[in-house]
Structure formats: C-alpha cells, structure tokens
Chains A and B, each alone.
Chain A
C-alpha cells in the first residue's frame, strides 16, 4: 500500500512537471503571454504607408513600450492605412500633438511605431487621432530615389 502511495506521488510529480514545462513554453517562449496585455485607451493614426507593420507590433516612446498596434485597416476614401493603437492605461499624459512614425528595429528587424511627444497642454484620450504621422521608410524606394537623382545629376 505504501509502495503504491509513493508511486502515485511520483506520477503526480511527473504529470505536474510535464504540465509546468508546457506552461513555461506557453508563457515564456511563445507569444501567448502577451495576450494578457492590459486594456488601455485606443487612439488612431493615419499613415500613407505602413511598410511591414503588423497587428500586435510594439508602440514605443523614447524606447519604452507604451502600447501595441491593435488593428490595421485601409481607409476607403483616402487610401491611407488607419492604425489603431492600444496605449497602456498608465501612460495617460501623452500630449495631443504627439507625432507618430514607423521605424525599423535594426536594419532588417521588426517594424514598430515610435511616438515623439509634443508640447500641447491637452492629452490624448480614447478615440482621439494622432494627426502628425510619418510613413514607413521603404528601403527599396530610397535606393530607387537615390539612383534616380544620381542619374538626373549627370
């Protein structure tokens, strides 16, 4: 009887360890842990070109992550990309005239939205729009422009 009790305890530990490993894979290794993002307030921003931005891309201010891209849509009238940003609730004092640009982390890295604080006395609130935006830099376009201007100069 004692033997079987010990066996049961060891099997219990085994199953618990296996599930813990799976849990660690879920939370620490995969992106599942990020789904528990706190719900903040949503602001939108229109970009001419978003490059490789995707939903759930990071939004940062001075390098600190302040939110995530919640949704990306195409405006049917202006043909701009409408990006909805979920800003974490503790960052509730972002000035109204903040500008948003799309940057690339490193030369080939992920794309993210960088916010530069403005000087307005009023702060962004739920449903507001960031009007000052700068589209993503598309490397191929720049190379194309450079070659074109080079050819023109000669």
Chain B
C-alpha cells in the first residue's frame, strides 16, 4: 500500500518537475527571440526544414480532405435541395476547424517528431553540452530559431491547407457533381466572415504552432540521452501534441464561436 502511494507521489512530482522544466525552457526561448532578430538567417534555415519540407504533405492532404468534404457534403445537401450551399459548408468547416486542426496534427507528425529526434540526438551525442563548453547557449543558438520557425510556419501551412481544400471541394463539386460555380462562390462569400471565421482560424493555427513546437522542442531537450530515450521522446511528442491540439481546439472554439 505504501509502495503504491509512493509510486503515485513520484509520478506526480515527476510530472510537476517536467512541467516546470518545460516552462523554464519556454521562458529561455522567449527571452532569446529578440536577440535572434539580429541573426535571422538561423530562422530562415529552420523555416526550410520545418516549413518548406512540410508543404507537400499539407497540400496533398488538404486537397483530399477538401474533395472528400465536397463529396460527402453534396450527398447530404442534395437531399434538401440545398446543394448550392456546398461552398459555405466546405469553407466554414475548413477555415474554422479542419484547416488549423488537421494541419497541426500533420505538422506534429512531420515536423514536430523531426525536431524532437534532431535535438534528442544532439543531446545524446553531447553536441549541446559541447556548445555550452564553448560558451554558446544551446537554447538560443539551436532551440529558439526552431521555435520561431515553427510559430511562423504553422499559420502559413494552415492557410495553404484551407485554400487547397476549398479548391479541391470546388473541383469535385463543380466539375464532377455539377454544382453551379457562381452559387458556390457567392454563397461562400456571403456567409464566411473575414474576422469571425478566417482570422479566428489563423489565431487557432498560431496557438497550435506554439504548442506543438514547444512540446517537440522540450521533449527533445529533455530526452533521456540514449537511443531508446530519443525514440520514446519522439513518440511522446506526437501523442502529447495530438492531445494538446484537440483539447485546445475545444477550448478555443468555445471561446471564439460559443455565445
């Protein structure tokens, strides 16, 4: 019995410690960002790895998600004779929900896991301690640029996802199913609001980018420096990011669209 309570206590203490270390890391990153503006080329390099290399998966998934939405939405709407509303259905679901959420999940899988593995490996091969020996702060030199790159890439990727998804739905809806293209666009424009819908979606994606990159970097920085430890951290990045994204999405939706 005592053993059980002790295990519980150790688990609770461990979790709190990790949370504390994560917050400390975040503070260190944030204080490093102004300095980073002087050496923006570091961020550009990371934007390439985090952002540019994620474009393909985002575009392909966006296209298919949009096409599926178009097909499914049409099948439902046609029963009510409201197939012209397909544009509204697709644009609102993509811009408000699917764009930010699905692209953040893909981003966690594609870029987040890579960040964790990279930093975890740097730690296990003692590159990070090597930097410290040379009086280079690894948080400012290695971690902060990656954080900023993730924060910048995420909203751009989510916007691409939504835009390509809407084009995919238009492709299916107009060319395949014969929805009138004028009605498709005009109903969409009449019902989609720039501030209410699109900007809120952008805010969501910025929040997701913040959280996913933070989790990925912390897991890498805090990884047990063995090959097994790096592997477990990478898994944890994807799992925790997915939880954080879906949980935060509910909170953000309740704040933005709930009355």
Whether the pair B51, A14 counts as a contact (CB closer than 8 A) is yes
Instruction: Tell me the complex Cα distance, A11–B148, Å.
Output: 14
B159 located at the interface, meaning its Cβ lies under 8 Å from any Cβ of chain A in the complex: yes
B189 and A14 form a contact (CB under 8 A):
no
* Cβ A30 vs Cβ B193 within 8 A: yes
Q: In the complex, what residues of B have CB within 8 A of residue A30's CB?
A: 189, 192-194, 197-198
A4, B190: Cβ atoms under 8 Å? no
Q: Are B159 and A25 in contact (CB under 8 A)?
A: yes
Assess A17 versus B55: contact at CB under 8 Å? Given A22-B202, A29-B91. Answer: yes
Among the stretches A31-39, A91-99, A113-121, A137-145, the one at the interface with B is A31-39
Q: Indicate if the CB atoms of A21 and B52 lie closer than 8 Å.
A: no
B145-181 residues at the A interface, CB under 8 angstroms: 152-153, 155-157, 159-160, 162-164, 166
Residue of B nearest to A32 (CB): B194
Give B227-245 as 1s and 0s: 1 = Cβ < 8 Å from A's Cβ atoms: 0000000000000000000
Contacts of A6-63 to chain B: CB distance below 8 A? 7-8, 10-11, 13-15, 17-19, 21-22, 24-26, 28-34
Residue among A10, A26, A28, A30 with most chain B CB within 10 A:
A30
Decide if B52 touches A11 in the complex (CB within 8 Å).
yes
Contacts of B153 in A (CB 8 A): 14, 18
A33 to chain B, nearest CB (A): 7
Interface size class of B (residues with CB under 8 A): 20 to 34
Asked whether B48 lies within 8 Å of A21 as measured between CB atoms, the reply is: no
Closest residue of A by beta carbon distance from B88: A29
B215, CB-defined interface residue at 8 Å: no
Task: Show the binding face of A for B, using Cβ within 8 Å.
Answer: 4, 7-8, 10-11, 13-15, 17-19, 21-22, 24-26, 28-34, 110
Measuring CB to CB, which residues of chain B are less than 8 angstroms from any residue of chain A? Answer: 41, 44-45, 47-48, 51-52, 55, 91, 95, 152-153, 155-157, 159-160, 162-164, 166, 185, 188-190, 192-194, 197-198, 202
